[in-house]
Amino acid sequence: MSIAVGQPAPEFTLKDQNQKDVRLGDFRGKNVVIVFYPLDWSPVCTNEHACFVNDMKKFESLNAQILGLSVDSVWSHKAYADKMNIQYPLLADFQPRGSVAEKFGVYLADKGITARAIAVVDKTGKVAWFKQYEILQVPDVTEVAEAIAKLS
């Protein structure tokens, strides 16, 4: 079962593509967009990240931090971020596999991957908006930006 809007977002610390520890709590005072996605390198995930990369200025103007999260390793994230010109953290929910995604109710244990979902965590650390998508569906980043704009 997915996390409910209004709940405190589960705290976590994961390594990003630069092997830096990233804590959700470090972003208090900012809106955080957690982009849960199945795997680096897949066509739909590549399209999804391209949309966020292309719209980064919009999210920055909304005081929003993007965090990508999948079960891929730090090394896969590094190569993927370099190839896609992704400047925001890609978090490796690698060991134990899917443990953070599971806290949000979006780990697909039978497939060993993260579902496609987006959680917006508000400045106080509560889940303000959440949507799960079909695996083959590219999320609408405009919809996400509009949800953040309503928080201000």
CA distance 2 to 114: 12
pLDDT of residue 152: 63
pLDDT in tens, the chain (152 residues): 789 999 999 999 999 999 999 999 999 999 999 999 999 999 998 999 999 999 999 999 999 999 999 999 999 999 999 999 999 999 999 999 999 999 999 999 999 999 999 999 999 999 999 999 999 999 999 999 999 999 96
Kindly list the domain boundaries of the chain, sorted by start residue.
Answer: 13-149
Are β-strands 113-114 and 117-121 bridged in parallel, bridged antiparallel, or unpaired? unpaired
Of 10, 17, 148, the closest CA to residue 79 belongs to: 17
Please state the pTM of the whole predicted model. 0.97
Residues in CB range of 102: below 8 A, 6 or more apart: 109
13-149: what CATH class?
alpha beta
Residue 60 phi, psi (nearest 5): -65, -40
Catalytic residue list: 45
Q: Where are the beta strands (DSSP E) in the chain?
A: 13-15, 21-23, 31-36, 64-70, 90-92, 107-108, 113-114, 117-121, 127-132
CA distance 9 to 14: 15
